[in-house]
Amino acid sequence: MSNNQAAGLSPEELQAWWMPFTANAAFKSNPRMYTGAEGMYLTMADGRKIIDTNAGLWCCNAGHGRKEIADAVSKQLLEMDYANPFSYGHPLAFQLANRLVEQIAPEGLNRVFFTNSGSEAVDTATKIARQYWRLKGEASKTCFIARVKAYHGVNWAGVSLSGLTPNRKAFGPALEADFLRHTLLPENAYSRGLPDNGADLADELNDMIGMRDASNIAAVIVEPMSGAGGIILPPKGYLQRLREICDQHNILLIFDEVISAYGRVGDTATMAEKIGVTPDLMTTAKGLTNGAIPMGAVYLKQEIYDTFVNSSDTPSIAPEFMHGYTYSAHPVACAAAMATMNIYRDDQLFAHAGKMATPWEEAIHTLDHGKNINDVRNYGLLGAIDFQPHGKAGPSRAAQIANICLENGVTVRPAGESLVMSPPLIIEQEHIDTIFNVLTDAINTVD
């Protein structure tokens, strides 16, 4: 019985939804359906339980089906299902912002602007950066510097700043952007944790400043740990050097931590805290609500906020920032986020992720120099395996291996010639053992 039949849907019922980032015709001819989720597991339409090594889509950090979040959402829906965020407020939004500053934000980022996704958070951060410089009397600072292989969402800012060329080539130009090289270097192959080589790549920013002039650059935006591009890690000292250069040339530094925040890197809430580098703005989403309700948040420095508020000619009438969303600080999303923060705190999940990062590292590096493998890398509860291209038509080796794993009870995410993994932070040794036993067998099966 196909997943489609088991899910109770006819071929006709599959047609109306235009699915995102999906080869729609291929999917609808052979659909793969989830019908349930709990803890570390997803349930397929045919009833099989599958270990989720992707935390949904980098977002279900506390595992699936958390009753605490469901109860908070249900209670909030009955108490107040919606509140207009334009010139009105509701207590939970302020309580959540304070909670995030205390529990999540790196020291120095003490203001929060709520969005509904990582893509919206990136758009918001770029608009803040552009207006900030206009308010400072430097309106020429309009360009952004991003990186090759970066993913910053799919709104116009994210498309403009995407270092994954297929994500932007179909849409034409939007924001003006230049791109630093990525930090995935052959000499760092099979690194454990942050690689040793490549901090000097940050000095490319000085070259760009020399060609363009810092008076034209609003901000540098980087994922401190690139996710969708294939778990690309910063070399030791690289992000510190970017911070130094931005400070020297009066350029804002934005960290896109949509994937790396909320405990993903182990021990700390954010990558910024983990490595001791504080950006001027930080974008987040995903783990903010454990994926239960869409929500994002931009964290920013007091000085940026004050520049907006203190520059207003009509503070009692006009908004300082002509930007926001109908669903900014949605009360139900706030309730989900508050419940998620409780779980992170009460279950000490960031510390647990740090503890499990060691056996995770040991397990993934049993694959070093394995069949058709070019590289294996890890950080926190993240991992990537790069495969040699097979040079033939059809699915990549990574995609073939992912399909075999799915048939054997584990879902892993193919990204081009790589497999990427980011399991829920609740992972235990038994899950790690199963994941890598299945993965090893699948790798050895594919030619």
Quote the CA–CA distance of 116 and 138 in Å, as a whole number. Answer: 30
pLDDT given at position 399: 96
Domain borders along the chain are 33-62+348-445, 69-346
Which residues fall within 8 angstroms of residue 176, CB to CB, at 6 or more apart? 142, 143, 144, 160
**HSE, side-chain direction, 13 A CA sphere, residue 96:** 28
In this prediction, residue 172 carries a pLDDT of 75
**Cα separation values, 331 from 100, 121, 164, 204, 328, Å:** 15, 18, 34, 44, 9
Instruction: Summarize the confidence of residues 74-103 as an average pLDDT.
Output: 98
Q: What is the pLDDT of residue 174?
A: 80
Question: What are the tens digits of pLDDT across the range 285-327?
Answer: 999 999 999 999 999 999 999 999 998 777 777 899 999 999 9
Whether residue 424 has pLDDT greater than 70: yes
- Amino acid letter, residue 361: E
Give the mean pLDDT of the chain.
Answer: 95
| Per-residue pLDDT, 4 | 44
In CATH, what is the architecture of 69-346?
3-Layer(aba) Sandwich (3.40)
Tell me: pLDDT of 394 over 90: no
Task: Find out whether 234 and 196 touch, Cβ atoms under 8 Å.
Answer: no
pLDDT value for 5: 46
With bands split at pLDDT 50, 70 and 90, how would you rate the model's confidence at 149?
very high
CATH fold of the domain at 33-62+348-445 = Aspartate Aminotransferase, domain 1 (3.90.1150)
Q: Which two tokens stand for residue 172?
A: 């034409």
> Range with the lowest mean pLDDT among 129-143, 146-160, 240-254?
146-160
Give the dihedral sign, CA 295/297/223/368.
negative
Say whether 69-346 and 33-62+348-445 share the same fold.
no
